[in-house]
Amino acid sequence: MIALAALSACDDDGLNGIDGSNGISALLKTTAEASSSYCPSGGTRIESGPDTNTNGTLEAGEVTGTQYVCNGDTPARPLTAMAAEPAGAHCATGGTRITAGADANGNGTLDAAEVSSTAYVCTGAVGATGTTGATGATGSDGYTHLVALAVEPLGSASCTYGGTRITSGLDTDRNGSLAAGEVAATSYVCNGAGVTWSNVVSDTSVQMASHMGYIASNTTTEVAFSLPVSPAIGDIVRVKGGLGVGWKITQAAGQSIDLGDLRTWSSLSGQAWTELPVQIGVGWETFVASSSSGQTVAAVTRWLTDVGVSKDGGATWALTTLGPNVRDVAVSPNGKVMYVSTLDPANGMYVSSDEGATWAARTLLTDVIDAAAYTNGVVAIGTLGGITAPYRSTDGGVSWTSLLPTGAPPSACWRSIAVSADGQHIAIGGNGNGSCSAIPVFVSHDAGVSWIASDATNGPPQNRIQMVAISGSGNTVVVGSSDGGIGLRVSTDGGRTYRQSTITDGLYPELTGKIALSADGRRMVAPATSSRVYTSNNTGYTWSVQTVARGAVSAAGSSTLDAVYYATPRGVDGGYVFKSESVLSSVSGTTGGVGGQVSGTSGDALELQHLGSGVWSVLGGVSNLLVVR
């Protein structure tokens, strides 16, 4: 906004001088300023100067001062308007009325309700014609009119949410700077009621303030945010999960949150498990695989002959007898194609293209240690022409091409392989024990054309069995071990760097099967040898642990892990499969009072507005794992 002080000039009549010249009016010109070095977000250019040719228009040659009012971060931009002011209380002889304000409704016109300040440039009174006298001495130059801009801080009496303070006046000391004593008028361009963001890195509890946004970045503890104590109607708060554990919004007595039709959960998978009506053999480890939907599930028990297939999420099963020495199973994302690997030299892999109704033996690749399916094919570790290495097939196992990473040790022993649904992202783990070479974890993001090798010092240990999993985007890579000493290593940059993931009870799961990893890389389910299943909802920063019936040796699930399965280890409990599911919430908001809350993890976000009487309503949000109670 611009406010100008009225300019006036006093003329002393000379003794019997000729008529003095009329005073020269000061003029103001405002034009839109595009994005420039003066105003990166655009704004208004203000030019001022005397009307020396008295034509009522500020010409380029008359400009003596230029200032800028720049747009801020808020949607409302400053506007000014000028209109003729009739003779009256503000200007005895008439003049110009200048109004300014923020364009709250964004229509490009300064409406009456948007005017926040008014200033006047008045026309001097015409003096009576005097008696012609002698020519007087030359008068001194007039004063330059100056405008100054300054930041108005958040919370000031003039601008609750901060803004710009505009002062103007005559440069009476002629130093080119508007001093405090020269200020004749002050006005403000105020910001709208947005939010100021705070990044919460170490705090575990935060009392929220109105018109504040919070990013939960604590990597060790969930951050609890308490709703504002005395909010006004219309106040806004925001919470977003950053690169941290997660967050929850808690309530005081009389408070509640209406989440509308935002999708929320009453519980997440991994907390309660149900035994499914199937036993696929007995005595040995059982391995399970799932389609992206979680509806098609297949399981085998190592060293035996049968494969169990369910097409209804584990409710019913059909068993099919294949050849001896089955080892593992893989299911395509759509559930149509299945692969059962064996350690039988005569039958390296069985393939079904009709959801397990019929099976064909593929004998080119033998002694298949591990396999993983994607939309258009399968990757596997097996032996071809006497060379045990990673391979790929795009024709149902009829033919294979090598995926051997450049730089792999000559005597590498390969152990596990994982692939994204589109086949572009592949992770391969080895076995660095005994006579096998120490081996890094290899990750490719171009379908095996080039590879990233993990660092020997900071990556997963290279002298242990490495059990790998990779997310759909390839950004998240998880590495466990079936022989201990490694714990869990998690990479969130596509296998370039790794961090050691800490389990809540201080132990590391000694994995004996594949980790189930969601397509977005945030959720993980890790089975452990000690009858425990570990679940993380925040990329492995924190874990919950469940002691499970019959023990767990392998895990698989839907792309979101809303449906997840584990299978049992060797012994009398071998051959069983268990299931856990996330449960959608049937309510549209929290329970009122101190018992109600809503929680989220990295990437989840909420914007809430106070409607009065302690009721907060959702304005917007990102809901992946929001849990409400």
Q: For the chain, which domains are there?
A: 26-190 (no CATH), 196-267+585-628 (2.60.120), 274-581 (2.130.10.10)
Query: What sign has the CA pseudo-torsion 171, 173, 179, 184?
Result: negative
- CA dist 222 and 220 (Å) reads 7
Question: Which candidate, 273, 213, 212, 218, places its Cα nearest to that of 242?
Answer: 218
The predicted model gives 186-194 an average pLDDT of: 73
Q: Tell me the per-residue pLDDT of 448-506, one tens digit each, with 9 for 90 and over.
A: 999 999 999 889 989 888 999 999 999 999 998 766 656 789 999 999 999 987 664 44
Judged against a pLDDT cut of 90, whether residue 332 lies above it is answered with yes
The predicted model gives 281-301 an average pLDDT of: 96
- CA dist 568 and 256 (Å) reads 43
Radius of gyration over every alpha carbon of the chain, rounded to an integer in angstroms: 37
- Around Cβ 21, how many Cβ atoms within 10 Å? 8
pLDDT of residue 421: 97
For 577, the token pair is 């499969």
The mean-pLDDT minimum among 56-60, 77-81, 256-260, 602-606 falls in 77-81
pTM of the shown model: 0.68
pLDDT of residue 506: 44
* CB-count burial class (<10 Å; 0-12, 13-18, 19+) for 31: exposed
pLDDT of residue 10: 41
The mean-pLDDT minimum among 100-109, 405-414, 598-607 falls in 100-109
pLDDT of residue 356: 97
Query: What sign has the CA pseudo-torsion 359, 575, 423, 603?
Result: positive
The predicted model gives 54-81 an average pLDDT of: 77
Q: Are 498 and 490 in contact (CB under 8 A)?
A: yes
pLDDT of residue 624: 85
pLDDT: is 259 or 513 the higher one? Answer: 259
Q: Supply the mean pLDDT for the chain.
A: 87
pLDDT of residue 505: 47
- CA dist 409 and 385 (Å) reads 19
Could you tell me what percent of the chain has a pLDDT over 90? Answer: 55
Q: Tell me the per-residue pLDDT of 140-174, one tens digit each, with 9 for 90 and over.
A: 778 888 888 887 776 678 876 666 788 999 989 88
H helix intervals, 480-615? none
Judged against a pLDDT cut of 70, whether residue 607 lies above it is answered with yes
Confidence grade of residue 32 (pLDDT, cut at 50, 70, 90): confident
Q: Beta partners for 24?
A: none
CA 51 and chain centroid, separation: 55
> Residue 182 — φ and ψ, nearest 5°?
-95, -10
* CB-count burial class (<10 Å; 0-12, 13-18, 19+) for 156: middle
The residue type of 202 is S
Question: Which candidate, 545, 622, 623, places its Cα nearest to that of 585?
Answer: 623
* CB-count burial class (<10 Å; 0-12, 13-18, 19+) for 383: middle
pLDDT of residue 21: 61
512 by DSSP, 3-state: which?
Answer: coil
> Residue 114 — φ and ψ, nearest 5°?
-95, -5
- CA dist 175 and 26 (Å) reads 19
pLDDT of residue 411: 87
The predicted model gives 378-392 an average pLDDT of: 96
Q: Cβ contacts of residue 78 below 8 Å, gap of 6+?
A: 1, 43, 44, 69, 71, 100, 101, 102, 103, 164, 189
Q: Cβ contacts of residue 34 below 8 Å, gap of 6+?
A: 42
> What are the Cα distances from residue 623, in Å, to 137, 226, 600, 604?
80, 20, 8, 5
pLDDT: is 66 or 257 the higher one? Answer: 257
pLDDT of residue 435: 85
pLDDT: is 337 or 456 the higher one? Answer: 337
pLDDT of residue 273: 97
The predicted model gives 343-347 an average pLDDT of: 81
